[in-house]
């Protein structure tokens, strides 16, 4: 079994190195999305299947609300904060609420009888927990009512070229919660371009549904260049989510044009008002 995994990893690395030549990192990180209603609609028309928003975004037009993940990941989120998050999701018909795993059960109870889903983050935000711990956390989150899981890879293992570990880390979560979709957060701002390619290829090989750029708690967020790189690696079959540091409508359009099918942003009030919004919980 170990030999088979080593062969698979070697094949993945060989293929991605053939596909993408090394690129010099410029050390710059992207911005994100300040949005207006028309800009958000153009994002959807360009191919986005979901947008992410923080709490208190205000009323969202009915044609946009069903593609928004209503997100609250700050560590100090209280029951009152979560209750408000869920109430807004119900009122505005958001696709989901996205919360830390410990808050899944509370939110699911708030959403009984509604179509609003619950998304849990796992190994968040560092990704440095063990394979077994991530799988257990993901399993418990699904048992508590999560319908999607966003997991963070072990960045140190990837940078150490322990690709078999990274592959198993992702695959274990995917297998544990199947058929629930798993998004793999690779924290692009901490990786070289070759590492981004390999992380994306490993995510696809492990059966993930999405590759996601960032936690929003790391040293930088999404860039259009990173989104294009990930899209080129995973092809049309997987989703690509650009998240972290998105502040302008122009940035959002660049992400979608580059291949993003979902956009994550804490400045989501821009979707309906075009006015400024403060960052919430590092997302």
Lowest mean pLDDT among 88-97, 144-153, 207-216, 235-244: 88-97
> Residues, the chain, total?
283
Mean pLDDT (whole number) for 94-117 = 93
Catalytic residues: 150, 212, 241
Pairing between β-strand 239-243 and β-strand 182-185 as defined by DSSP bridges: unpaired
Q: What angle do CA 237, 244, 210 make, to 5 degrees?
A: 15
Q: How far are the Cα atoms of 32, 122, 134, 171 from residue 151, in angstroms, in the given order?
A: 21, 5, 8, 11
User: What is the DSSP secondary structure assignment for residue 220, as one 8-state letter?
Assistant: -
Q: What is the spatial distance between Cα 152 and Cα 234, in angstroms, rounded to a whole number? A: 17
CA distance linking residue 134 with residue 127, whole number of Å: 8
Task: Let me know: does 54 contact 244? Beta carbons within 8 Å.
Answer: no
- Three-state DSSP at 279 gives coil
Q: What is the pLDDT of residue 165?
A: 97
Does pTM top 0.85 for this prediction? Answer: no
> How much of the chain exceeds pLDDT 70, in percent?
66
Domain segments of the chain: what residues? Answer: 30-271
Percent of the chain with pLDDT over 90: 51
**What CATH number is given for 30-271 in this structure?**
3.20.20.70
Hey, which of 46-60, 144-158, 206-220 has the most confident mean pLDDT? 144-158
Q: How far apart are CA 32 and CA 52, in angstroms?
A: 12
Using CA atoms, how far apart are residues 72 and 118, in angstroms rounded to an integer?
11
Task: Give the per-residue pLDDT at 260.
Answer: 78
Determine the pLDDT at residue 69.
72
Query: pLDDT tier at 40 (50, 70, 90 boundaries)?
Result: low
How far apart are alpha carbons 73 and 27 in whole angstroms?
Answer: 26
């Amino acid at each position: 079994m170990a030999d088979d995994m080593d062969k698979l990893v070697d094949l993945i690395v060989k293929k991605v190195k053939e596909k993408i030549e090394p690129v010099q990192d410029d050390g710059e990180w992207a911005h994100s999305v300040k949005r207006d209603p028309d800009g958000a609609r153009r994002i959807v028309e360009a191919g986005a299947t979901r947008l992410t928003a923080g709490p208190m975004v205000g009323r969202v037009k009915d044609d946009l609300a069903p593609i928004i993940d209503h997100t609250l990941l700050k560590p100090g989120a209280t029951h009152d904060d979560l209750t408000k998050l869920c109430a807004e999701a119900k009122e505005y018909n958001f696709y989901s609420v996205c919360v830390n795993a410990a808050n899944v059960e509370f939110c699911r109870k708030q959403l009984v009888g509604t179509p609003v889903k619950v998304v849990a983050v796992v190994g968040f935000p560092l990704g440095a927990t063990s394979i077994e711990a991530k799988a257990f956390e993901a399993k418990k989150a699904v048992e508590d009512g999560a319908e999607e899981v966003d997991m963070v890879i072990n960045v140190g293992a990837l940078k150490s070229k322990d690709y078999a570990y990274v592959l198993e880390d992702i695959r274990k979560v995917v297998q544990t919660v199947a058929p629930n979709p798993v998004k793999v957060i690779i924290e692009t701002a901490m990786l070289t371009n070759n590492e981004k390619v390999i992380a994306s290829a490993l995510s696809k090989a492990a059966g993930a549904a999405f590759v996601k750029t960032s936690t929003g708690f790391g040293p930088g967020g999404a860039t259009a260049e990173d989104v294009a790189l990930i899209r080129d690696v995973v092809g049309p079959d997987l989703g690509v989510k650009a998240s972290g540091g998105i502040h302008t409508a122009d940035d959002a359009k660049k992400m979608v044009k580059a291949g993003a099918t979902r956009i994550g942003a804490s400045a989501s009030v821009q979707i309906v008002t075009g006015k400024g919004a403060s960052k919430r919980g590092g997302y």
